[in-house]
Chains A and B, each alone.
Chain A
Amino acid sequence: MPDLAQSPALASPQISLKGVVKNFGAHRVIDHLDLSIPQGQKVALIGPSGSGKSTVLRLIKGLETYQQGSIEVAGASVPARSSSWRLPGTKKAPVVHRVGMVFQQFNLFPHLTVQENITEAPFRVLKLSREEALERAHQYLGLVGLSHKADAYPAQLSGGQQQRVAIARALAMRPQVMLFDEVTSALDPELVGEVLAVIRAIAHEQQMTMLLVTHEMKFAQDIADRVLFMEAGKIVADGTPEQILVNPDNERTRRFLNLVEKR
């Protein structure tokens, strides 16, 4: 299997981080990180907690500031300071909606119904008509298998259902990149399967770029084209699931995998 990251056909990556440094007070969370991801690639980020995996996702979404380096997503640069980022060359142009993100804690809006949770952003941000937004809501609720819960409030759903709604909410913006930040970590074990099944389906059907931070090694192996192992703010191993998860040649990766399996 060819190393996708180094493939010459993918000269212009969809996501590119160059020499990115992020400090949290005196603590260095991301340490001169270089990463480039071509369009359509499914990347799993693994590593011990506190290694900076989630921070990488949050940097790509522009939720975090950074001190050095540069980040580009789909040809637009993500500024180091501002919270919202804009298309190059446009000052007050609409914010780019190319990156969707799903959180560990779902973060659904508790005062809105499932359907309103999904239509809100297409309606307010993409300025779709109510009908178009509703249509999208139905489409993606169908995709995550929750059409019958359109009028429920988040509190009336199980954790797994809430997370599926959160995925539908992010997808309804039709992003080019989807970021999944430990989306099953807050779930009871019996609810993990339904969420992973939804993500698996998306990974197989859609050609969007996906980045997942996960502790589910089997799942990572199953859907990822590429696995990154992070430690102390650096990528210490980068390769196919085969190379990283099945026959790790890196000592630290091996130790980490042993630890995860024992748990």
Chain B
Amino acid sequence: MNFDYAFAWSIVPDLFQGLLVTVQVVVLGFLLAVLLGLLLAIAQRSRLCVLRRLSSGYLSFFRNTPLMVQLYVLFFALPLVGITLPAVSTGVIGLGLYYGSYIAEAFRGAIDGVPAGQWEAARALDFDSATTWQRIILPQALKPMLPVLGNYLIGMFKETPLLAVISIPELFQAAKQIAGMTYRYNEPYTVMALMFLAISVPTSLLFKYFERRSHA
């Protein structure tokens, strides 16, 4: 089996369309995941037992079940409760909910890393809890979070082929379609793999660079 470069080149535009959808879903899903992760982590520190329990239950459930099956449930269950969204939005929500549980755990670790004395100093100065979080705790917790978030962003990006199972026209779906129509597998999948590497390797290097700079 030979590799047809002309054919490979000809399918690049189609795959690139898929890549754009992939990037879009990842960026939106990532924002949702960070926001959700932050809320879940703060809930873990809540004085209300109910909130802590709910947050723990959420983390435990979403971290112990496969994203793919979560996507299936979401895809079929949302319309049942009267929410009909385009597949792309379902993908964003699915990725956000799943990765939110991982990012929450990372946030929790970072928040636990802020010394107890900082909480006490804030209370000794009579800060209310919103000010304590915003001005004292989160700024200190976020700095070591940056490389961790970077890793999750890359992880999410690599997980996007899964979105094909709920028929989102992302990169993997595009490659599959081309393969299905032309009966050529080598070129679409190879070009797709190269595209994944072309995004994930530089992103990973970029975050490593940030990390080194923040240590300096």
Contacts and interface: CB of A to CB of B under 8 A. Distances in A.
A63 B120 contact: yes
> Which of B118, B135, B143 has its CB near the most chain A CB atoms (within 10 A)?
B135
Given A95-B126, A121-B125, A173-B125, A110 B120 contact: no
Nearest to B117: A107
Contacts of A84: 123, 126, 128
A201 interface: no
B70 interface: no
B139 to A, nearest CB: 5
A240 B118 CA distance: 35
A109 B136 contact: yes
A125 B126 contact: yes
Given A120-B135, A124-B135, A107 B127 contact: no
A170 B120 CA distance: 13
Size class of the contact patch on chain B: 10 to 19
| Chain A interface residue bracket vs B | 20 to 34
B139 A111 contact: yes
Interface in B17-47: none
B140 A103 contact: no
B135 A95 contact: no
For the residues of A in contact with B, the DSSP-based class is loop
B124 A101 contact: yes
A174 to B, nearest CB: 12
A64 B25 CA distance: 47
Contact of B118 (A62, A63, A109, A170): A109
A241 interface: no
B89 interface: no
* Chain A CB within 10 A, most for which of B118, B125, B127, B128: B125
B38 to A, nearest CB: 18
11 contacts: A84-B128, A100-B124, A103-B124, A107-B117, A109-B136, A111-B140, A124-B131, A125-B126, A125-B128, A169-B125, A173-B125
Interface of B: 115, 117-118, 120-121, 123-128, 131, 135-136, 139-140, 143
Which 10 residue pairs spanning A and B have beta carbons closest together?
Answer: A107-B121, A107-B117, A121-B125, A101-B124, A95-B126, A97-B126, A111-B139, A124-B131, A125-B126, A105-B117
